[in-house]
């Protein structure tokens, strides 16, 4: 059956830095699903895909959604890309709703600030490693923490108060490194069943999903990127809590290790190693083998063999 033949329309309604791009890619693998990525985002608009220009009121929004869903079964939508009144109309318009949010408010906030600084939003960790960070403002962190909490609470309350059927999904249920892969795959099929599609059993599709769920392939930020921020330890001490979540919970030795790792990454991204990597690599391999292995493991650069 062609993806466009089914009239099972859904919206991934979400917020920035919640893993929604990966979820969109996963659902798009289903043979009956065809997901349009952020149709109302100005930054992705083209001559043939400037949907945001068509929305001037509820009627034009409704017409635009009909146009989109004549070609696609689902869309991924970030809450800030339309006015609140338009968002609420979409949520009440009898589409299947996946509400995706991130329980760890602090990680979400810092991840958003990193992406805002680097303009790296989609799987471009090298762009982050090449950026020099200044200390982050506590006031700014506090502001965005409150803003994000308010957004999640507002739309969750709207959905529940209006008895709207929706599938609640958290970032942690799909991307937590502590969860077994089998549990994550089950969650994917729970979503698939909610959408009214047959479960994914094709081994080739499952293989592709496993790649997308691999944090080394899909996760943008980790401890190595957090520790590029000079005051990251102070940020964790001030804002890390049961309510906000934690960036990390490390002992002094572990903190020293990640600070050292971040400084090494910063150093080698500022040096043009394309010219000198061969001789440096040979020297380190012979005289400082542990550092050579460390650099190879974090893939800061590729040693030439000439």
pLDDT band for position 205 (50/70/90)? very high
CATH number of the domain to which 143 belongs: 3.40.50.300
Predicted pLDDT at 169: 98
Predicted pLDDT at 270: 60
Residues 6+ apart with CB under 8 A from 50: none
Same domain, 276 and 140: no
Same domain, 129 and 169: yes
Mean confidence (pLDDT) of the chain: 87
What does each C-alpha distance from 216 to 72, 131, 222, 299 come to in angstroms?
30, 20, 10, 12
pLDDT (mean) for 289-293: 74
Same domain, 92 and 154: yes
Higher pLDDT residue, 22 or 261?
A: 22
303 domain residue, yes or no: no
Q: Which residue has the tokens 């650099």?
A: 295
Residues 6+ apart with CB under 8 A from 206: 185, 200
Same domain, 252 and 184: no
Same domain, 230 and 93: no
CA angle (61 as vertex; 41, 35 as ends), nearest 5: 50
173 domain residue, yes or no: yes
pLDDT (mean) for 239-244: 96
List, for residues 152-198, the tens digit of each pLDDT value: 999 999 999 999 999 999 999 999 988 999 999 999 999 999 999 99
pLDDT above 90: residue 131: no
Same domain, 24 and 171: yes
Same domain, 183 and 126: yes
Predicted pLDDT at 2: 43
102 domain residue, yes or no: yes
198 domain residue, yes or no: yes
Same domain, 126 and 247: no
Percent of the chain with pLDDT over 70: 86
pLDDT above 80: residue 122: no
Enter the tokens of residue 296: 């190879």
Residue-number span of the structural domain to which 145 is assigned = 3-221
51 domain residue, yes or no: yes
pLDDT band for position 305 (50/70/90)? very low
Of 173, 195, 221, which closes a domain?
221
pLDDT (mean) for 114-120: 84
Of 176, 192, 221, which closes a domain?
221
User: What domain count does the chain have?
Assistant: 2
Same domain, 52 and 109: yes
132 domain residue, yes or no: yes
282 domain residue, yes or no: yes
Predicted pLDDT at 300: 44
List, for residues 270-283, the tens digit of each pLDDT value: 654 444 455 566 77
List, for residues 153-162, the tens digit of each pLDDT value: 999 999 999 9
List, for residues 27-39, the tens digit of each pLDDT value: 999 999 999 999 9
pLDDT band for position 221 (50/70/90)? confident
Predicted pLDDT at 281: 64
String of DSSP letters for the chain: --GGG----EEEEE-TTSSHHHHHHHHHTSTT--EEE-TT-GGG--TT--GGGG-SSHHHHHHHHHHHHTT-SEEEEEGGGS-HHHHHHHHTSS-EEEEEE-S-HHHHHHHHHHHHHH---SS-HHHHHTPPPPPPPHHHHHHHHHHHHHHHHHHHHHHHHTT--EEEEEHHHHH-TTS-HHHHHHHHHHHHHHHTPPPP--HHHHHHHHHHT-HHHH----HHHHTTSTTHHHHHHHH-BTTTB-S----HHHHHHHHHHHHHHHHHHHS-HHHHHHHHHHHHHHH-HHHHHHHHHHTSSPPP--
Same domain, 217 and 235: no
Higher pLDDT residue, 289 or 122?
A: 289
φ, ψ of residue 37 to 5 degrees: the values are -85, 110
Of 178, 203, 221, which closes a domain?
221
206 domain residue, yes or no: yes
Q: Which of 16-20, 236-240, 263-267 shows the lowest per-residue confidence on average (mean pLDDT)?
A: 263-267
Same domain, 215 and 232: no
List, for residues 58-101, the tens digit of each pLDDT value: 999 999 999 999 999 999 999 999 999 999 999 999 999 999 99
Q: How many residues does the chain have?
A: 306
Same domain, 84 and 204: yes
């Amino acid at each position: 059956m062609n993806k466009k033949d089914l009239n099972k329309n859904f919206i991934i309604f979400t917020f920035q830095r919640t893993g929604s791009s990966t979820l969109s890619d996963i659902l798009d693998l289903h043979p009956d699903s065809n997901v349009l990525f952020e149709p109302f985002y100005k930054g992705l608009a083209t001559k043939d895909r400037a949907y945001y220009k068509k929305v001037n009121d509820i009627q034009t929004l409704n017409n635009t959604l009909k146009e989109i869903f004549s070609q696609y079964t689902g869309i991924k939508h970030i809450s800030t890309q339309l006015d609140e009144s338009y968002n609420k109309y979409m949520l009440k318009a009898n589409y299947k709703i996946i509400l995706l949010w991130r329980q760890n408010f602090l990680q979400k906030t810092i991840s958003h600030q990193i992406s805002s600084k680097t303009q790296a939003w989609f799987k471009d960790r090298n762009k982050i490693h090449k950026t020099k960070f200044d200390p982050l403002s506590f006031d700014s962190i506090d502001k965005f923490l409150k803003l994000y909490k308010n957004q999640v609470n507002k739309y969750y309350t709207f959905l529940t108060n209006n008895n709207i059927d929706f599938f609640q999904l958290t970032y942690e249920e799909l991307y937590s490194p502590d969860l077994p892969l089998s549990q994550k795959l089950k969650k994917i099929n729970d979503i698939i069943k909610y959408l009214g599609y047959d479960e994914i059993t094709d081994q080739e599709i499952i293989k592709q999903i496993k790649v997308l769920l691999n944090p080394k392939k899909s996760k943008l930020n980790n401890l190595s990127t957090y520790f590029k921020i000079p005051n990251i330890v102070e940020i964790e001490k001030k804002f890390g809590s049961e309510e906000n979540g934690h960036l990390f919970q490390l002992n002094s030795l572990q903190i020293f290790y990640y600070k050292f790792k971040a400084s090494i990454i910063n150093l080698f991204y500022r040096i043009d190693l394309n010219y000198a990597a061969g001789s440096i690599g040979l020297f380190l391999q012979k005289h400082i083998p542990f550092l050579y292995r460390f650099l190879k493991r974090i893939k800061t650069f590729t040693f030439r063999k000439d």
